[in-house]
Each structure stands twice: as C-alpha cells, then as structure tokens.
Amino acid sequence: MRQCLFLFTVLILAVGVVPALAGDEPIQTFAGHTGYVEAVSFSPDGTKILTGSADGTAKLWDVETGVEIRTFSGHTERVWSVAFSPDGTKILTGSGDDSVIVPAPDKTARLWDVETGAVIWTITGHTGGVRSVAFSSDGTMVLTGSGDNTAKLWDTETAAEIRTFSGHTGWVDSAVFSPDGTKILTGSNDNTAKLWDVETGAEIRTFARHTKAVLSVAFSPDGTKVLTGSFDGTVKIWETETGALDRTFWGHTPDGTWSVAYSPDGTKILSGGWDRKARLWYAGTGALLRTFSEHDFAVWAVAFSPDGTKILTGSGDRKARLWDIQDISSAGFWKMLR
C-alpha cells in the first residue's frame, strides 16, 4: 500500500495532476424559486446572496441560515443576471427572453434598493433582452449585455446611457468590467469574446478560438488574464494584453460550459455546465481539484465568496447551493492520502 501511494505521489509531482474528487455535501441549499436559477451573486461582505430566476424574480438570502430575506418582483420575464453594487446597498437585475417563439417585451435592467426592495430606476434602451449586468468597481457606472448584440454603459445615478459597444454579430451573453475599470469584456453567441476600451468604446481585441457561443466571461483579479466559458464545453484562459491563449480546460460535456468565475486570489477557477456539475480547477496548471455533483439539472451560474472560502452554484433544478472549499487544497489532498 505504501509503495502504491509513493508511486502515485511521484506521478502527481511529475505531471502536476491532482485527481478530481466527488464534491462534499453543500452546506446550504436555497430553495424557493419556481423557475431555473439563472444567476447568483454574493454581497460584498459575504453575508448575503442574490439569485435571479426564470420565474421573473430575484431573491435575497441570508448565507448563514439559508432564510429568504426579500423577493424583488417586477420583471415580466426571466431574470438572466444579477449583481450587487460595491457598497452592497443596491442590486441590479437584467431580464428578457430572446427566443424566436417568444419575443422579449421586458428588455429591461432594474436598479433596486436592497433594504426596501423598491425599484430606483428602470433601463429601457435595449431592443433585446438584457442577459448580463455588472457594476463598475467604484459603483458609478453599470454595464448591460443584450440580445440586441450590443453592450451598453450607463450612469448609475441617472440611468443615462453613456456609450454603446457594437461589433458582435450574436447575443451578448456576458459582460464584465476589468478590475481597474478601464476595459470591458463581452462574450457572445458569435463564438467570440471581445475586449473594449471603456473611455472610447473602441474594440481592442477579439478572442476567437471557441467553436460555439461564449456564454460567460471574467477577468482575473489583477486583470492580466481573461476567462471564457463556452457552449463548446471548454473553459479558456487568455492573456489580456496580447490575446494569446494560455490554457484550455476540458471536462464539461460538449453541450456547454454555462458559467465561469475566478477566485479572489486568482489561483482557482470555477465552472458550471450542462452536465449538472460545477468544477473547481487550479488556474496555473489546469488540474481539476473537485467536482460538485449534487444538482439535478444544468448548473447555469457560479460564484466565489469574497474571501474565497465558499462557492455558490445556481441550477435548472430551481435551487442554489453553497459549498465550503477551505479544505480543497494541496494540503487537504495530502491529508486524504495518509
């Protein structure tokens, strides 16, 4: 037995592979939506979570107890995306279904007061459903990505449109700010991700190695890397500055990687897929650390807690689940081998 463990250890050290382990039980399950959970987000202080659903609502929950605090009702279609403001006092939601059969009469983003649940303003400038929303790091601007193939920048205080980013030939499924707020990144059904200059609206670069729609995008915490998840089942890391492809992660089925996220320290990435699983990876080596398999339907959305000790997954099974990942590390793996 010791000899087998020794040889196994040598193999791991030689190739840098950490075997995938079945996920532990979730430490909290958030159940209350009557439709798919399409989006999830942690509050800046990590004490609350926000979920957006195909039932047309967003819900605020207590992380510690799992109790629903508030429901934000008003959208007439699915809530595709949710985000907290940097100070945690407001939330942003995006809605609209761009299916061929059912048009998107909602097509709005809404800013809400977290404490009261009241709508502060509603954005109606897109001609397609709003599939992605984000706040700038200073909270002064919001970003929306839409089924009208554009992303738009808005003033948080007035809801006035600042700029439109045009260039994609398919829905903009995901749109995020860079950590320093000078760039935005968009992912689209045209199989590409694009980097843009916030100040001018100019396209800087296109990331074009996916073979199907880019459904989710993220920046590394230091902004030097770009992360993309695609319907082709892969996750890719790219160099922000040059556009060079650093690494491809395989593991989800060919039917799609739906959501990706970077850990706060930049050492891990998280992905959720059509295969009903979420996967945690080492960003630097591509090694798969853990697979989370408790959901009964596709994992549409994933997020890290602000301190990086927990992850959140949202699924077509109408639930969001919270997982503790503090012990998922090299140290935890060696402990398991003893």
- Give me the pLDDT at residue 26, please: 96
Is there a domain that residue 55 lies in? yes
Q: Does pLDDT of 204 surpass 60?
A: yes
Is there a domain that residue 200 lies in? yes
pLDDT level of residue 21 (50, 70, 90 thresholds): very low
**CB pairs under 8 A, 24+ apart, for 160-163?**
161/125, 163/198, 163/201
- Give me the pLDDT at residue 104, please: 56
Q: What average pLDDT does range 11-15 have in this prediction?
A: 36
Is there a domain that residue 1 lies in? no
Sign of CA dihedral 42, 43, 47, 50: negative
Average pLDDT of the chain is 90
Q: Does pLDDT of 100 surpass 80?
A: no
Is there a domain that residue 188 lies in? yes
Q: What average pLDDT does range 72-83 have in this prediction?
A: 96
- Give me the pLDDT at residue 279, please: 97
- Give me the pLDDT at residue 260, please: 98
- Give me the pLDDT at residue 329, please: 53
pLDDT level of residue 327 (50, 70, 90 thresholds): confident
Question: Distance (Å, rounded) from C-alpha 193 to C-alpha 212?
Answer: 11
In three-state secondary structure terms, 149 is coil
Q: Does pLDDT of 331 surpass 60?
A: no
Q: Does pLDDT of 330 surpass 70?
A: no
Please give the model's pTM, rounded to 2 decimal places: 0.89
Is there a domain that residue 181 lies in? yes
- Give me the pLDDT at residue 99, please: 61
- Give me the pLDDT at residue 254, please: 75
CATH number at residue 175: 2.130.10.10
Distances (CA, A) of 250 to 132, 256, 274: 25, 11, 13
Is there a domain that residue 11 lies in? no
The pair of structure tokens assigned to 286 is: 């591509």
CA dihedral defined by 323, 328, 332, 334, rounded to 10 degrees? 140
* Distance, first Cα to last Cα, the chain: 11
Strands 319-324, 268-273: pairing kind: unpaired
pLDDT level of residue 17 (50, 70, 90 thresholds): very low
Is there a domain that residue 14 lies in? no
pLDDT level of residue 294 (50, 70, 90 thresholds): very high
Listed range (14-28, 125-139, 250-264, 302-316) with the worst mean pLDDT = 14-28
Sign of CA dihedral 226, 227, 228, 232: positive
227-270 pLDDT per residue, tens: 999 999 999 999 999 999 999 999 887 779 999 999 999 999 99
Sign of CA dihedral 324, 329, 331, 333: positive
Is there a domain that residue 114 lies in? yes
The residue among 304 and 105 whose pLDDT is bigger is: 304
112 within 8 A of 83, measured Cβ to Cβ? no
Q: Does pLDDT of 98 surpass 80?
A: no
Work out how many domains the chain is built from and give that number.
1
Residue 84 domain boundaries:
21-337
- Give me the pLDDT at residue 253, please: 79
